[in-house]
Structure 1
């Protein structure tokens, strides 16, 4: 079903989330292309569950009403694989048995020759000055490097929206700002509507977008 406005935006329309029948929150928000909207709230308030709702992985103990519209398409009941939503977590979740290039290759949509896929991955690494990391074992990378590779893998999947679930919280203070700047700059450069879940006020302040407390 088409939605008449909000081209390229992520729109939560009258979304109410319930856990075991009890309402956690209600949201109406439009996240515009390149905008980072931050969701803050205490543990148990439903922040991460909101991302599960949007991506199609809400556990059965939760229920919701309302609609999720992405790029003018109602994805509320769509199969998770068809939603075109990219997820980045606190843990980079890189495959230890793949090198960096192979990890990134995993993120690419199906299609194209092996040569073409390798070229896409190498171009992505080169664009962010990480070309020398392609053959590395991901476990030999620093935390900041792993986070950057995790984001590149998400971006190579060609999402239409980006969901960030506490992605900087495992990093030390020195790295946190650098990785945060990298993630936000990539989201804006790709014009992705981005929803950030965090406990950290600095993350929220640096996002430059609306901050919503639930």
Structure 2
């Protein structure tokens, strides 16, 4: 079985106008960066991969993940994790409860608590399970969002400009943490950004989309 994320002859259009064409294989632990200005279709590509493409867009081509064709699979069965600009933590839940949301059903309460504690420890947030997300810094929220997504056991990771709201120093730190976790787990990563530093830090191939309008 071929591991990785394959975007096979993907073409996305809106109103008869082609927005992007991508034909690329992202191997385990590799990062493909898609760059371009706002409105050029970067996030639309991620929506196609996650199975949430809006109806005003049309798409052809296939998405393969670890050898399985997931092009027509329901979004919740695709095993694709995604991080956005905003951390999207649930404000009415504790940090631990937010992480528990990412865990698959099953296992005893003690087993689930142990996984949550291990996840927090991995990103330097030991003892934060009972904290209110509102009390966390931007970097801490980003770490919790990352681990919640990883606890869902994805087979690929999508990044929708997740570092853009962080200041320069924190941005570099969180960015390296995300890429390192992806490498350790051998996850193929598809990142969209307009920031050249993000692309350079990713270290993989870069596709540049142009807005011809």
TM over 0.5, shorter chain: yes
Are 2:26 and 1:31 equivalent residues in the alignment? yes
**2-structure distance, mates of 1:13, 1:142:** 39
**1-structure distance, mates of 2:16, 2:145:** 35
Segments of 4+ moved more than 6 angstroms = none
Q: Tell me, what secondary structure is at the counterpart of 2:165?
A: coil
The alpha carbon displacement at 1:42 in A equals 1.4
The alpha carbon displacement at 1:126 in A equals 1.4
Structure 2's unaligned 5+ residue stretches are none
Are 2:127 and 1:132 equivalent residues in the alignment? yes
**2-structure distance, mates of 1:197, 1:181:** 16
1:77-116 aligned at under 5 Å gives the runs 77-116=72-111
Q: Which one of 17, 31, 35 corresponds to residue 22 of structure 1?
A: 17
The alpha carbon displacement at 1:113 in A equals 1.6
Q: Tell me, what secondary structure is at the counterpart of 1:87?
A: strand
**2-structure distance, mates of 1:24, 1:195:** 17
Q: Which one of 52, 55, 71 corresponds to residue 57 of structure 1?
A: 52
Are 2:43 and 1:43 equivalent residues in the alignment? no
The alpha carbon displacement at 1:127 in A equals 2.2
**1-structure distance, mates of 2:173, 2:141:** 13
**1-structure distance, mates of 2:39, 2:91:** 31
**2-structure distance, mates of 1:129, 1:173:** 20
Q: Tell me, what secondary structure is at the counterpart of 2:127?
A: helix
Q: What is residue 211 of structure 1 aligned with on the other side?
A: 206
**1-structure distance, mates of 2:183, 2:121:** 19
Query: Given that residues 31 and 193 in structure 1 are in contact (C-alpha distance below 8 angstroms), is that contact kept between their aligned partners in structure 2?
Result: yes
**1-structure distance, mates of 2:139, 2:122:** 17
Please provide the CA RMSD for this pair.
Answer: 0.9
**TM-score, length-normalised on structure 1?**
0.96
Render the CA deviation track for 1:185-212: whole Å, top value 9, x for unaligned.
1111111000011010000000011111
Q: Which one of 116, 119, 133 corresponds to residue 121 of structure 1?
A: 116
Are 2:200 and 1:181 equivalent residues in the alignment? no
